[in-house]
Amino acid sequence: MHVNFKGIYLVIVLIFFIAFYFVIIPYYQKWRLQAKTNQTYLNLKDSPLPWKVLGYSEKNNPIYGLSVGSGQDTVIIFGAFHGDEQVGFHLALQLADTLYKNPQLAKSLVLLVPVVNPDGMLAGTRVNANGVDLNRNFPTEDWSPVYSKKRYYPGIEPASEKETQLVIQLINQYKPDRIISIHSDLRMNNFNGPAEELAETIAKYNGYPVKGDVGYATPGSFGTFAGLEMGIPVITLELPAVGIEKAWQQNFKALLAAINFKVQAVNIHNAE
């Protein structure tokens, strides 16, 4: 039998390159983002920005918040309900830094909460330390103990988790006029409650599709709780998988437009 060594060699080289691009590089990038995320989170306590500890996670990790800007409206921006969606955390931090240095850009009072789920984020998991999907743990009419996959485990009862309780407390305390919750990687401006026009405004800047529905059932979700049931305009900003820098480029003006929505004409083109 004739063995074509050249052919076998080419196949081996091809497999190596495919593995390199589709397995090794993504794995390395994920590992690097996790390391950067954990270090950034642990450094927040020494940040030059006046971060406040709003509350604690199930594992007693601090959940930080920063208030910036001023105005009649109040806007809350949440990141990392899901611990493995770390780009939202970094985006919220970059926004905090920019608005802290340029408070005139925000014509509303903005409360930034870059990570709702620090336990999950430090571990690189979607769920919190108790294995609960926080975005299925809100006390909505459609909350259900039934779940299709482990990643959607809603907890033993609605608002069973300390992180969920803190989010509810912040909403009752701040009474926000609109809320942005940053997730990934679906690339859309998903709106709940009276937020379609807000979503359209954001879309003018980030170019993502506007959707009233993510395409699958989300019982006990934050959007249902705050948007549909409390009547607060809620945007679930689903970032595409583009990394921190691109996500920032695509969304800085979009986030400013959401903060300043209908507040007054503001020339955001001068923003850095």
Q: Which stretch binds Zn ion (CB under 5 A): 108-116, 142-150, 156-164, 182-190?
A: 182-190
Complex with Zn ion: residue 136 or 183, whichever CB lies closer: 183
Name the segment binding Zn ion (CB under 5 A); options: 32-40, 45-53, 111-119, 178-186: 178-186
Cβ neighbours of residue 102 under 8 Å, at least 6 residues apart?
271, 272
Task: Note whether 136 binds Zn ion by CB under 5 A.
Answer: no
Q: What is the residue type of 88?
A: G
- To Zn ion, the closest distance from the beta carbon of 196 in angstroms equals 21
* Position among 183, 210, 239, 260 found at the interface with Zn ion (CB under 5 A): 183
Report in angstroms how near the CB of residue 84 gets to Zn ion at its nearest. Answer: 8
Give me the least distance between CB of 55 and Zn ion, in Å please: 20
Distance CA 163, CA 270 (A): 37
Q: Could you tell me which stretch among 19-27, 109-117, 180-188, 225-233 binds Zn ion (CB under 5 A)?
A: 180-188
**Roughly how many angstroms between the first and final C-alpha of the chain, as a whole number?**
68
Measured CA distances, 105 to 37, 112, 123 (Å): 26, 15, 34
Residue numbers 21-40 binding Zn ion by CB under 5 A: none
Q: 98-125 burial, b for 16+ CB within 10 Å, e for fewer?
A: bbbeeeebbbbbbbbbbbbbbbbbbbeb
Contacts for 157 with CB less than 8 Å, ≥ 6 apart? 145
Which residue number is nearest to Zn ion in terms of Cβ?
183
Q: What is the C-alpha separation between 248 and 263, in angstroms, rounded? A: 23
Site track for Zn ion across 142-171, x = CB under 5 A:
------------------------------
Count of chain residues binding Zn ion (CB under 5 A): 3
| Cβ nearer to Zn ion, comparing 107 with 126 | 126
Residue from the set 76, 82, 132, 260 that interacts with Zn ion by CB under 5 A:
82
Q: Which is nearer to Zn ion, 66 or 127 (CB)?
A: 127
The least CB distance from residue 105 to Zn ion, in Å, is 27
- Footprint of Zn ion (CB under 5 A): 82, 85, 183
